[in-house]
Structure formats: C-alpha cells, structure tokens
A and B are shown apart, each in its own frame.
Chain A
Amino acid sequence: MSTVSSFFTFIPEIVRYALAAAGPLLFASVGGLFPELGGMLNIALEGLIGLGAFFGMAAAGASGSLAGGALTAMAAGMASALLLGMIVLRFRAHLFVAGLAINLAAGGITAILSQAWFGTKAVVPFKIPPVPAAFPPFLRDIPLLGPMLFSHSIITVSAWLWVLLSAIVIERSRFGLRLRATGMNATAVDALGVRADRYQMTALALSGIGCGLAGYALGVSISAYVPNIASGRGWIALVAIYLGRRRAGWVAAACLVFALAESFSNYLQGFLSIPPLLVLALPYAVTLVSLIAGGLRTSAEGM
C-alpha cells in the first residue's frame, strides 16, 4: 500500500526528471530534423554530441562562463557538421559512411585531446558556475505544477524554445519551405535557380549547433565530461526524427516519450531492484519498440 501511494506522489518527480532529460534529446533531434528535411539524414549526431560536450565543457571550465561554453559547443558541432557537408556535397562521398567517420573521429579526437589537456581520458570534472533557474521563485512555489514545470534550468527551457523556433522556421519561413523542397526534389530546386546544396549545408550546420548544445547540456548537468557521454542519444534522436515524420512538434513528442521512459525506468529501479547494468539496455529497447511500432504504422498506411 505504502509503495503504491509513494509511487503516485512521485509522479511529479518523474515528470520533472523527464522534462529535464528530454533537453539534450530535443536539441539533437530537432537539430537533426533540418538535414533530414533537406534530404540528408545526418547519422553523425552521436559524434557531434560528444564533440559539443567536450569542447563546450572545456571552454566553460577554462573561461568560467556558461555562455562561453555554450558558444564553443555550438561552434564545435557546427564546424564538424560543415566538414561532413563539405565531404559529402563537394567531394561527393557517401553520406552515411562519412557520417560514421565523424562518429569515429569524435571519439578519437576527444580521447586524444582529453589526454593532452587534462591528463586523463576518463572522467574530467569541471568547475562551472551554477546554471540559473529559468523561472522566478513564486512560480516554482506553485504546488504540483511548480516543481514539475517551473523548477527547470534555463538550459531545459532553451531546449523547448529551440523546438518552437525550429518549428516556426521549418513551417513558416522561406528557408524552411525551400529546405523541404530540396528534400523532395533537389534537382528541381536547382533548376529553379536555388542552390540546393547551400540549403543542405545550412541545415547540416543547424544540426551541428543542436547537437553541440545537446552535448553541452549533458556535460553541464553533471559538471563533467565523461567518455561516451552521448551514450546512444544521437541514435535515439535519429529514431525520434523518423517517428516525428518531418514535423518538429512530433519529433519533440517522440523525445518526450523516450525521456519519460528513461525517467520511469530510473524510478522503477528503486522499487524492482533491476540490476543497473541491465537498465542501460532499457532506453535502447524502448527506442527499438517505438521504431518497430512506427514502422508497422507506416506500412499499414502505405498498403
């Protein structure tokens, strides 16, 4: 009985955790939506997140400025994504192979630089200023809603702003329209005198910025950089993109489902004593099941 009742009192806690955990996923997947719309699924999200986390945290630690870290994380993600774009669009390399290369390179570069700069390729803790809360205290004090919705940091809130802004750009701006047209038929767009490749490059840059911020959000949440900090979030974000069917709002909804599952499983662990190593499989399992469910729906509609 007491287990059941405490379970319900913890629901606000689960929601709060899920909203925070969704932040990095939202940055990465909505960012990754841009190149997908332009017809270039970016499978390097995982690596870009790691690069953003490493360079962002290193800069935040060195400068003592949260904003400086965020800018560096965005720049690192963007530069790497632009490298990918150049290799694929100018040198005509295979999109997925080049994406895998970026993932592989990200792991290598962060390990080598971590060893060179911090003397270890394991966990690097950083002294960074505390992240300011996004809402004033009186909102946070509202019972139930306060802890759930208004206790979040500016990073989590920016993730949702990123979704909103991206949705507006995709649905309402000329850039969004042309990008979507590029994804549907790049040759036709080219024939109209619009440089399709420039739109694809810009979209890739946006995915790099999103992933950089995603990694930075992960790093800031633990005040440290750890190897493999993305731990599959780049791939889970790809599934969110697939499930979201080209709409930023639905991509965000998919992220929220994944984050809720993560939060829920973290919480269940306390009750069911699932071995922690096995819990690591859960996000992937949830993602795989959603992927299959999404595939079933698609094929049912297609037939």
Chain B
Amino acid sequence: MTGAKPLSSLSRTLFALLAAVLLALIILALSAISAPSGRQAGFFEMASHFFITPFSNPYFFGNLLADSVPLMIAGLGILIAFNSRNFNLGGEGQIYSGALAAVVVVLAIQEHASPVAVWILGACAGLATGAVLGGLAGILKAVWRISEMISSFLLSAIAIAVTDFLVAGPLQDPNSNFQTTREIAPRLLLPGILQPSKLDVSLFAAILLIAAAGFAGKRSRIGFELRICGENEEFARYCGIRVPAYQAGAMAVSGAMHGLAGALLVIGLQGRLIRGFSGGLGWSAITVALLAQNSEAGIIPAALFIAFLKSGSDQIMIGSGLPSEIAALLQAAIMLVITMQTIPLVRRMKNKPAGAVQKRGSP
C-alpha cells in the first residue's frame, strides 16, 4: 500500500530471535530483582542456567535434540499446510491421538512382533490417525468452505478429550499410580543415542523426512501444483489443477505428520502414553514453521531453537523456581514479530502512512 519495502524474511527471522532472547533476559532480570534476597538465584546464575546449561553436557544436549524431533516433524506438517494456504490449528490433538493409536497398536502386537514391524506399524497407526483428523478438516474446507482453522481445532479438542478418557480409563495401566497406558516392551523401542538422554534414532528419521519433503516440494509435480494452489487458487483452477483435492490432501498430510510425531515419541524411549504429555507441542510446531519462513531446510534450525528455549526454560524451573511456561511466552514473542512487514518508525521516515488497513483473508 505504501512505497516502503516490506522487511525481508531474513530480517524478520532475526528480529524474532532477538525478541525471544531479549524477552528471556527481561524476565530473568525481573525475577532476579523481585525475588526476596537469598531465596532465589541471581540474574547471572539464572542466565547461565538458561543459555549455557542445555549445552553443558551430553545428557542435557541429547534431551534438547530429542525435544527438537517432534518439533521438526510436526513443524514440517504445519509448513505443508501453509504451502497450500491452510492453517492447521489441530496439531495438539493430532499429535496426542497419533501417539495413542501407536501405543494401542504396538501393545496389541508386541507379543509376537519384531522391533522393525513394531516401528513400522506404530508409525503407520500415528500417520493414519493424524491423517484422518487433518483430512476431515481439509475435506470440510474443500467441499463446504468451512474454515479449516476452527474445524481442525475443534476436531483436535474432541480427540484430546477422547484420548484423555481412554488413557485414564480403559487403557490405564492398572499397576501405575500415574494416568498412563501400559509400557511397550523395552526391546521393541527405537534404539537410543547419547544415553542416558531421551534421544533416539527418530532424529535421523526426522531429518530424512525433511529432506524428502524439501525435494518433493521443489522438484515434484505435486509439490509444484500444491504451491500454485497456495499462491493463487483461481490461477490454479484455470491451470486445471484439482484445488479441492490439494486442499484436503495437504491438511491430511499435515495431520499425518503430527500423528507421526506423536507415534515416534511413544515408540521412542518414552515407551508409553502419559496423559497430557504433548501439551503445547502443537503450538510450538506452528512457531517452528513460521520461523522456518516457508523453507523445509529452515525447519531444522528453527526446531533446534525452539527446543533450546524449552530446555532453557526447564533449566530455569529447576534452578530458580520460575515456571517453565516462560517457554510459551518466548514463543509468543517470536510469533508476534515473525510476520511483521514493517517497523513504523522506519517507514515513517521514508514514506507517509496511508492508513494501514488489514484485509481479511485466509492465511
């Protein structure tokens, strides 16, 4: 609308990272100032807990990498939906119920199955469950133009309630005091790396998946047509591309990725489904995809950064008693900044504002 150039995607990413780090420092400083002396750690101690401890030894670093795996896979799922201009807000439920499906399948077959069969079937169960949840939202949009944002969220909320019920009810491990399913036999779980951290080989699966998706997105006909659908629906229709199929399909694939992320968590070293374990993962995946700025390769550093924010916040919680929800706040800061097109002070110097107006539209 104005002649001012919008911010480049690189500067937006840098602004977002800067915002998160600055906000973290501000929270730590406020907490250090307001704490009664002697009761809590000082500012520098907390800052070192936050920024350095996650990298200080193989155990913490392994956990950081492990946290990044579901973020990579689910973040990729969000990105695929973004590419077709769909906003998948059902990630939480897709991850959670995908994990449940994997546990149920694996517990049913584990007596007679080899580890590889367990991994494949568990992953497929997660993929299928997520694909159904995401695909339903996609079909609702493709056929009846129902906002996929709201329908995917509602489907996910239903899936979460049903999963909670199953975990705390029929599928509850009778020998556990926690609300959790029975455990998968340890011999069937994915092999760990950097023991005793919770990292396992799913890290490689995630990287391979991102590479494959990057290749398919840039080089394949499907990826090309998907991007056209996302960029200009009308043009895509004139090109003879079946837009509804791509819309529904992208949401299904997006859901499938989330389901897979959940499945890999439970057939990984976790080995069972604990009620509420996935809390917040779905929203973090959205931050990851936004930070990656529509690039598959960007998913990996973005997921690592969000995993770092989480590990740092967990370290703070252990070290000083601040709640780990700091991580949510820092991600919110990233989300607020990452899509900014202008910084008004800069723009005003170059060009008079002509009344910035937000038009309504799908993302």
Contacts of B358 in A (CB 8 A): 39-40, 88-89, 92, 95, 186, 197, 200
Say whether A242 faces chain B, with CB atoms less than 8 Å apart: yes
Residue contact B359 to A277, C-beta cutoff 8 Å: no
Given contacts A40-B358, A91-B343, A284-B157, contact A100 B286 (CB under 8 A): yes
Contact residues of B between 304 and 352, Cβ < 8 Å to A: 321-323, 325-344
Q: Show 29 residue pairs from A and B whose CB-CB distance is below 8 angstroms, ordered by the A residue.
A: A90-B344, A92-B341, A93-B336, A93-B339, A95-B360, A97-B338, A97-B363, A100-B89, A101-B336, A102-B336, A104-B328, A111-B328, A112-B322, A115-B323, A186-B358, A190-B355, A190-B357, A197-B356, A232-B157, A242-B147, A277-B164, A278-B165, A281-B165, A284-B157, A284-B161, A285-B158, A288-B158, A291-B151, A292-B151
Residue contact B154 to A90, C-beta cutoff 8 Å: no
Say whether A98 faces chain B, with CB atoms less than 8 Å apart: yes
Report the bound CA distance from A280 to B31 in whole Å.
36
Residue contact B325 to A111, C-beta cutoff 8 Å: yes
Contacts of A107 in B (CB 8 A): 325, 328
Say whether B201 faces chain A, with CB atoms less than 8 Å apart: no
Pick the interface stretch among B59-67, B116-124, B138-146.
B138-146
Q: Pick from B162, B334, B357: contact of A196, CB below 8 A.
A: B357
**Chain A nearest Cβ from B141, distance in angstroms:** 9
Q: How many residues of A contact B (CB 8 A)?
A: 57
| Contact digits for B157-179, partner A, Cβ 8 Å, 1 yes 0 no | 11001101100110000000000
Identify 8 new A-B residue pairs, CB closer than 8 A, beyond the known A111-B328, A115-B322, A235-B153. A93-B336, A97-B290, A98-B336, A101-B334, A108-B326, A108-B332, A186-B359, A239-B154
Report the bound CA distance from A239 to B149 in whole Å.
11
Report the bound CA distance from A98 to B89 in whole Å.
14
Say whether B87 faces chain A, with CB atoms less than 8 Å apart: yes
Judged by DSSP, the binding face of A is helix
Residue contact A94 to B339, C-beta cutoff 8 Å: yes
The A-B contact count (CB < 8 A) is 168
| Contact digits for B1-38, partner A, Cβ 8 Å, 1 yes 0 no | 00000100000000000000000000100010010000
Instruction: Name which residue of chain B comes closest to A290, CB basis.
Output: B154
Report the bound CA distance from A107 to B363 in whole Å.
23
Report the bound CA distance from A242 to B336 in whole Å.
25
Report the bound CA distance from A39 to B359 in whole Å.
7
Report the bound CA distance from A200 to B334 in whole Å.
24
Residue contact B154 to A284, C-beta cutoff 8 Å: yes
Say whether A105 faces chain B, with CB atoms less than 8 Å apart: yes
B-binding residues in A (CB < 8 A): 39-41, 43, 87-98, 100-102, 104-105, 107-109, 111-112, 115-116, 121, 183, 186-187, 190, 195-197, 200, 232, 235, 238-239, 242, 275, 277-278, 280-281, 284-285, 287-288, 291-292, 295-296, 298-299
Given contacts A93-B340, A112-B329, contact A235 B154 (CB under 8 A): yes
Report the bound CA distance from A87 to B344 in whole Å.
10
Contacts of A298 in B (CB 8 A): 144-145
Contacts of B290 in A (CB 8 A): 97
| Contact digits for B193-231, partner A, Cβ 8 Å, 1 yes 0 no | 000000000000000000000000000000000000000
Instruction: Name which residue of chain B comes closest to A198, CB basis.
Output: B355
Instruction: Name which residue of chain A comes closest to B35, CB basis.
Output: A116
Given contacts A97-B335, A98-B336, A100-B335, contact A91 B342 (CB under 8 A): yes
Say whether B50 faces chain A, with CB atoms less than 8 Å apart: no
Residue contact A183 to B149, C-beta cutoff 8 Å: no
Among A100, A235, A287, A292, the one with the most B-chain Cβ atoms within 10 Å of its Cβ is A100
Report the bound CA distance from A107 to B282 in whole Å.
14
Residue contact B145 to A299, C-beta cutoff 8 Å: yes
Contact residues of B between 240 and 279, Cβ < 8 Å to A: none
Q: Pick from B143, B169, B332, B356: contact of A101, CB below 8 A.
A: B332
Q: Pick from B6, B162, B344, B363: contact of A94, CB below 8 A.
A: B363
Residue contact B355 to A195, C-beta cutoff 8 Å: yes
Residue contact A197 to B162, C-beta cutoff 8 Å: no
Instruction: Name which residue of chain B comes closest to A286, CB basis.
Output: B154
Report the bound CA distance from A296 to B147 in whole Å.
12
Contacts of A200 in B (CB 8 A): 357-358
| Contact digits for B67-106, partner A, Cβ 8 Å, 1 yes 0 no | 0000000000000000000010100000000000000000
Residue contact A288 to B154, C-beta cutoff 8 Å: yes
Report the bound CA distance from A195 to B357 in whole Å.
9
Residue contact A278 to B145, C-beta cutoff 8 Å: no
Given contacts A94-B363, A108-B332, A285-B158, contact A291 B34 (CB under 8 A): no
Residue contact A295 to B343, C-beta cutoff 8 Å: no
Instruction: Name which residue of chain A comes closest to B167, CB basis.
Output: A277
Residue contact A196 to B355, C-beta cutoff 8 Å: yes
Residue contact B146 to A291, C-beta cutoff 8 Å: yes
**Chain B nearest Cβ from A242, distance in angstroms:** 7
Instruction: Name which residue of chain A comes closest to B154, CB basis.
Output: A288
Among A91, A232, A287, the one with the most B-chain Cβ atoms within 10 Å of its Cβ is A91
Report the bound CA distance from A280 to B355 in whole Å.
44
Residue contact A281 to B332, C-beta cutoff 8 Å: no
Instruction: Name which residue of chain A comes closest to B317, CB basis.
Output: A115
Residue contact A291 to B149, C-beta cutoff 8 Å: no
